Every structure is written in C-alpha cells, then in structure tokens.
C-alpha cells in the first residue's frame, strides 16, 4: 500500500487470533498489517504505523526462549495495545510482575471497568460486560506509572494503562466476537487513541492499487496468470484499469482443472472482462512432470515450476513482457512463509511458496495484502458479475492436490466427474452460495460394494464442504442428509470406477481445506 495509508501494526506472537485482530481493524476502515517481533527499525520507519498491537500467543515471559518485544517499538513513541501475552510482555518490560501458571483460563468471563479509560469510552460500554479469555499467566503487580482500568473474576489486573506513554493492556481478547463491545474497544484504540482515519474503504483501496500498479509498471506490458477464479479476475479488472491494452491474460489448462473449465473460463472472461486472452493447453506437460510424484509438497513445487516455465516460454511469443501478475492474497502469503512469520509452513501455495527462486519476470501481486472478503468487495465495486465473484475458490495446483498419491489421467477423469456431480447437485439445491468451498477428493484405496447383485471393487472418494469467511479457519458445512444421499447415489451410479463416497467432517484447524 502507498506510504500515505495510515496503518496499525500488529506484532504476531503466535496467537491463533492474530489474523482476526487484523481483520477486525480493517473492518473498522483502518489498514492493518501483521509482522513478526523481529521487525527492523528501518521497516518500522517505512511502515510509519500510527499504533501497535502486540498479539497474544502461547509464550510465557518466564521462559528464557520467550519471544520478546522489539525495543525500537517503544522508542517510536506511538500508542501500544498489548493483548493477553502482549499485555504480559509490556508489564514485564516496564517492571511489573507476572504470575506463572500452568492452569489455563479459557472461555467466557465477566469484566468490570474500574476506571473510565479512553479505551472504554462510549456510552454503549457498560461498567460490567462479558469477555473471552485464553491465558495461563497473568499480571499480578503493575509497573510504575501504570494503573488498573479493569478487573475480572480471576484477575484484579485484567486491563491496565499508562496514559503518559499511551500504553494499554488487555488480558481478554477484544477481537473475538464472544467479547461484548470488543469492536468498540478496538475502534477506541485505533480512532480515538491512535487518531487513524477510517480511510481503508473499498473505493480507496481500488484507487491505491491502481496507482501502485501504474507506478510500478509504467507503459510496459503485464502478463497475468488468469485462472477464472475470483482473485485473478479481480486482479485482471484492476490491472486493466491501470494499464489498459497493455494487459495480456494467459490461461493455462494444466489438465488438472474441473470439467469444461477451459471452455467456460474462456467464454466468461471474454464476455465479462473483455481482456486480451491467450489460452495454452499444457495438459501433457503437467502430467509428465507429475509422473511418479506422491509427496504433496513436491507436487506443489513441480506445478509452480511448470507454470512459470510455461509462462516464460509462451510470453516470449507475445511482444516483450517484463511483468508477471498473480492473484495472490494475504492468507496465501501468511500460510506460505515460515521464516518471516510465526505460523508454520502449512503448504506452499503455488502462487507464493511454489515459485522457483529464479525466473525472468518482475512479479506484481496487487491484492497480496487483502483478505478474500476484501477482494470480493472490490470485485463487486468493479462490477465483475456475481457468478465470478461468488465462485468457490479452486487452488492453482487444481485436482493434483485432491488426488492422494500419484496423479494419473484415469484418476483425474474420475475425480472430474465426481466433482461435477457434487457441485451441480449443491447448485441445483440452491446450496452453493451457503457454502464457502466444496470439493471432492480421490482416495488411493478400493472398497467392496454391490451393484445390481454384482460385487464391485472400486475406488473411494471423499466430499468436503466448508463455511468460512477468510479461509484461514473453517467449519464444516451442514449439508442436509437428503442432499448428501442424492449426491452419493448419483456419484456411485454415474461414475463407474467409484464404489463408495465418504463425507469429510473435519474443521480447519485441525484439517486444512484441501487434503494436500
Ligand atoms: P488450505 O488447504 O490451505 O486452503 O486450508 C485454503 C484456501 O486456499 C486454497 N488453496 C490454494 N489456492 N494455490 C491457490 O491459488 C494453492 O496452491 C492453494 N492451496 C490451497 C484452498 O482451495 C482454500 O480455498
């Protein structure tokens, strides 16, 4: 984002709620960005945040290996809000005392304001309200010049502040919806205390992104890897506004796509986005490169590499192109980075972690900092048709990460049919938009069945449907049994090589959405 964007910096200490803090703040209309605790002074100066939030995390200030607070944050003289572990870090740093406990207080608690702090300003926030706790250690002695602003059943110091330094601490989680008035408390911090303007609106985001693209690209040509999904379609619309005819979109049929995908995407993109579109059929190449590969990460890397090499080769046939654009979004970035972020590498999304180290393009990723729902809002604002905006996501590596084990043409064909029936059934039942993502998975096992009095010994497929707003966490969708029954009956009857259908009932976490 441009340097003019006012932001709140969130330092991630490994809390499962860090992304939620970022989203809540963006929902308030303020840009927020997540960094680890080793953020350098130089980076801090570049970001120029108007306030800092220290997230919670599984750490304890008593551990010698604890993640500590970047000291230069304090020299920077901007308001700081510590949440949970963030609060304990602040207390520890300024000379307070933290009790060590292995017992966790997890769940609802009642909180009482003991002082009318700026953080709790507003007539809607009562003296007592419900909050959500998730901690073991707690602050038992305040640092000098700090005062208690709230207490709870299990802790006399559940919230503190040091008005002189503009530092605040909360033991509970204001970002979680189970905390009453959490949104107002974060609003007070960002707007009243940090004086941020609510300028992170969809219109402003669009303007900034377009300016940023113009700035980077000038009069050069841009090649966009277009999949026909919401992210790359929105990127196409944004780049088209920035560089007009200099945008060239390339759709690669990897052979790992859904049924009729090439035909449908070509028709849709030409009709609704009206961009230069080149369609490449690389089915054989991908299948050849994936031969014998069973490891999920190896598959992802090979697909990422194959993609980029095809882009390099095919783009040479176009007029000179130096820029490659991708529809990478924020969750892809967070989940693919291990050294920069506290989060583990969950999987290498091909448009981030799966890219080879060297390739002959400057990469531009205009929506890299946005969550999915923000991308959808931009799409609507840019008048991209609803059927494109509301499409369930489909991963870059496609059916390859939904086929457990080696990818073969036979398995692809089976899974394609299964997927087609599944998606059609939920569409016919008017259920598609109630689900965030539905998918089918090919399992490398066979099972016995009986059909028309005959023994059947054939493959097993799994179906999965989840509900989520940001794809970082997800709950299983409750597809009615009647519909499940119809889906499984159709699959087993219509796809000859399938003997059994199972339904995946795993939330994320612990499961990821894709199986690989
Ligand atoms: P997971 O499986 O990590 O998926 O819970 C989260 C979301 O990301 C999609 N996904 C991908 N998208 N390239 C993509 O463009 C990828 O390599 C990739 N892997 C997963 C997944 O479908 C879900 O929507």
84 as an active site residue: the answer is yes
- Residue 391's pLDDT is what? 92
Q: Is 451 helix (H, G, I), strand (E, B) or coil?
A: strand
Non-local (6+) Cβ contacts of 430 within 8 A are: none
Alpha carbon distance 220, 233 (integer Å) = 20
Helix (H) or strand (E) holding 298: helix 296-317
For residue 138, report the distance from its CA to the centre of ligand 1, in Å: 37
Nearest CA to ligand 1 atom 20: 395
173 as an active site residue: the answer is yes
pLDDT tens digits along 377-435: 999 999 999 888 999 999 989 999 999 999 999 999 999 999 999 999 999 999 999 99
| Percent of the chain at pLDDT exceeding 90 | 73
Query: Could you tell me whether strands 155-162 and 147-152 are parallel, antiparallel, or unpaired per DSSP bridges?
Result: antiparallel
Atom of ligand 1 nearest to the CA of 394: 22
Out of 84, 162, 190, 249, the active site residue is: 84
- Residue 349's pLDDT is what? 62
- Residue 341's pLDDT is what? 45
Q: Strand locations in 192-266, DSSP E?
A: 222-225, 247-253
- Residue 355's pLDDT is what? 57
Q: Strand locations in 254-345, DSSP E?
A: 276-281, 323-325
Please name every residue paired with 281 in a beta bridge, in sequence order, or none if there are none: 253
Nearest CA to ligand 1 atom 10: 395
Tokens of 245: 């005819």
CA atoms within 13 Å, Cβ hemisphere of 42: 0
Name the band, by pLDDT with cuts 50, 70 and 90, for residue 113. very high
Dihedral over Cα of 373, 375, 381, 386: its sign: negative
pLDDT tens digits along 293-329: 999 999 999 999 999 899 888 888 987 888 989 898 8
Name the band, by pLDDT with cuts 50, 70 and 90, for residue 3. very low
SS3 helix, strand, coil % of the chain, rounded to 5? 35, 25, 40
Alpha carbon distance 339, 35 (integer Å) = 11
pLDDT tens digits along 70-88: 889 998 899 999 999 999 9
pLDDT tens digits along 198-254: 999 999 999 999 999 999 999 999 999 898 899 999 999 999 999 999 999 999 999
Mutate to test the pocket of ligand 1, among 401, 513, 515, 516 (most ligand atoms within 8 A of CB): 513
Alpha carbon distance 187, 118 (integer Å) = 11
- Residue 473's pLDDT is what? 79
| Alpha helices, H only, 76-201 | 85-93, 182-187
For residue 393, report the distance from its CA to the centre of ligand 1, in Å: 8
| CB of 281 closer than 8 Å to CB of 262 | yes
314 as an active site residue: the answer is no
- Residue 1's pLDDT is what? 52
Nearest CA to ligand 1 atom 7: 471
Largest CA distance in the chain: 82
For 17, 130, 197, the CA distances from 177, given in Å and listed in that order, are 11, 11, 23
- Residue 334's pLDDT is what? 65
For residue 304, report the distance from its CA to the centre of ligand 1, in Å: 13
Tokens of 63: 């551990």
pLDDT tens digits along 207-216: 999 999 999 9
For residue 395, report the distance from its CA to the centre of ligand 1, in Å: 5
Q: Which residue has the higher pLDDT, 4 or 161?
A: 161
List Cβ<8 Å contacts ≥24 apart for 260-263: 261/228
- Residue 256's pLDDT is what? 97
Dihedral over Cα of 34, 35, 36, 41: its sign: negative
Mutate to test the pocket of ligand 1, among 256, 307, 349, 350 (most ligand atoms within 8 A of CB): 349
Please name every residue paired with 113 in a beta bridge, in sequence order, or none if there are none: 150
For residue 176, report the distance from its CA to the centre of ligand 1, in Å: 24
Atom of ligand 1 nearest to the CA of 227: 15
- Residue 470's pLDDT is what? 73
Nearest CA to ligand 1 atom 9: 395
Nearest CA to ligand 1 atom 17: 349
For residue 512, report the distance from its CA to the centre of ligand 1, in Å: 9
DSSP string, 103-114: S-EEEEEEEEES
DSSP string, 241-261: HHHGGGEEEEEEE-S-S-TTH
Domains by residue range for the chain, with CATH: 7-193 (3.40.50.880), 202-389 (3.40.50.620), 408-503 (3.30.300.10)
CA atoms within 13 Å, Cβ hemisphere of 476: 12
Nearest CA to ligand 1 atom 12: 395
Cis peptide leading into residue 91 (ω within 30°) = no
Atom of ligand 1 nearest to the CA of 397: 17
What are the phi and psi torsion angles at 322 (to 5°)?
-105, -20
Alpha carbon distance 417, 421 (integer Å) = 6
pLDDT tens digits along 135-160: 889 999 999 999 999 999 889 999 99
Name the band, by pLDDT with cuts 50, 70 and 90, for residue 346. low
For residue 200, report the distance from its CA to the centre of ligand 1, in Å: 26
Nearest CA to ligand 1 atom 16: 349
Nearest CA to ligand 1 atom 11: 395
Out of 175, 262, 335, 425, the active site residue is: 175
Q: 293: closest CA among 516, 44, 29, 50?
A: 516
For residue 29, report the distance from its CA to the centre of ligand 1, in Å: 27
- Residue 340's pLDDT is what? 42
Q: In 10 A of CB 340, how many CB atoms?
A: 15
Q: Which residues have any ligand 1 atom within 6 Å of their CB?
A: 300, 335, 346-347, 349-351, 393, 395-397, 437, 471, 508, 512-514
Token pair 């990422």 in the structure block, residue: 304
User: Order of strands, edge to edge, in the sheet holding 222-225?
Assistant: 276-281, 247-253, 222-225, 323-325, 362-364
| Alpha helices, H only, 139-201 | 182-187
Atom of ligand 1 nearest to the CA of 514: 2
| CB of 251 closer than 8 Å to CB of 266 | yes
Tell me the average pLDDT of the chain. 91
Please name every residue paired with 141 in a beta bridge, in sequence order, or none if there are none: 97
Find the distance separating the first CA and the last CA of the chain, reported in whole Å.
Answer: 32
pLDDT of 345 > 80? The answer is no
Out of 135, 173, 181, 350, the active site residue is: 173
Alpha carbon distance 418, 423 (integer Å) = 9
Return the DSSP state at 474: B
- Residue 352's pLDDT is what? 47
């Amino acid at each position: 984002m441009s340097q003019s964007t006012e932001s709140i910096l969130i330092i991630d200490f490994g809390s499962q709620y860090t992304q939620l803090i970022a989203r809540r703040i963006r929902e308030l209309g303020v840009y927020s960005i997540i960094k680890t605790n080793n953020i350098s002074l130089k980076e801090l100066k570049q970001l120029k945040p108007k306030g800092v939030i220290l997230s919670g995390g599984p750490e304890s200030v008593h551990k010698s290996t604890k993640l500590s607070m970047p000291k230069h944050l304090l020299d920077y003289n901007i308001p700081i809000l510590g949440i949970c572990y963030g609060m304990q870090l602040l207390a520890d740093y300024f000379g307070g005392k933290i009790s060590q406990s292995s017992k966790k207080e997890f769940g609802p608690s009642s909180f009482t304001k003991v002082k009318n702090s700026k953080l709790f300003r507003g007539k809607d926030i009562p003296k007592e309200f419900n909050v959500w706790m998730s901690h073991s250690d707690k602050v038992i002695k305040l640092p000098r010049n700090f005062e208690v602003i709230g207490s709870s059943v299990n802790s006399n110091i559940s919230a503190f502040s040091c008005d002189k330094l503009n530092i605040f601490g909360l033991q509970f989680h204001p970002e979680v919806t189970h905390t009453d008035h959490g949104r107002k408390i974060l609003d007070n911090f960002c707007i009243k205390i940090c004086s941020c303007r609510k300028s992170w609106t969809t219109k402003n985001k669009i303007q900034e992104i377009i300016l940023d693209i113009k700035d980077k690209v000038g009069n050069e040509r841009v090649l966009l890897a277009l999949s026909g999904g919401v992210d790359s379609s929105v990127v196409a619309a944004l780049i088209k506004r920035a560089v007009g005819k200099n945008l060239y979109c390339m759709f690669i049929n990897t052979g790992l796509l859904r049924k009729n995908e090439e035909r449908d995407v070509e028709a849709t993109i030409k009709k609704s986005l009206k961009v230069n579109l080149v369609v490449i059929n690389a089915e054989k190449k991908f299948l050849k490169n994936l031969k014998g590969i069973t490891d999920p990460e190896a598959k992802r890397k090979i697909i990422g590499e194959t993609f980029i090499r095809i882009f390099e080769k095919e783009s040479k046939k176009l007029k000179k192109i130096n820029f490659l654009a991708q529809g990478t979004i924020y969750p892809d970035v967070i989940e693919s980075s291990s050294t920069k972020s506290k989060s583990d590498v969950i999987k290498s999304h091909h448009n981030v972690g799966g890219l080879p180290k060297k390739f002959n393009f400057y990469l531009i990723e205009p929506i890299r900092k946005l969550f999915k729902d923000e991308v959808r809002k931009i799409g609507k604002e840019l008048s991209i048709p609803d059927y494109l905006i509301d499409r369930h996501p489909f991963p870059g590596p496609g059916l390859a990460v939904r086929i457990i084990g080696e990818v073969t043409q036979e398995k692809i064909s089976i899974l394609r049919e299964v997927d087609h029936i599944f998606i059609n059934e939920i569409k016919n039942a008017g259920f598609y938009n109630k689900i965030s993502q539905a998918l089918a998975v090919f399992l490398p096992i066979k099972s016995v069945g009986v059909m028309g009095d005959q023994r059947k010994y054939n493959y097993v497929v799994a179906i999965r449907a989840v509900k989520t707003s940001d794809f970082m966490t997800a709950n299983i969708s409750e597809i009615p049994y009647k519909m499940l029954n119809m889906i499984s009956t159709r699959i087993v009857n219509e796809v000859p090589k399938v003997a059994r259908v199972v339904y995946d009932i795993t939330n994320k976490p612990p499961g990821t959405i894709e199986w690989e």
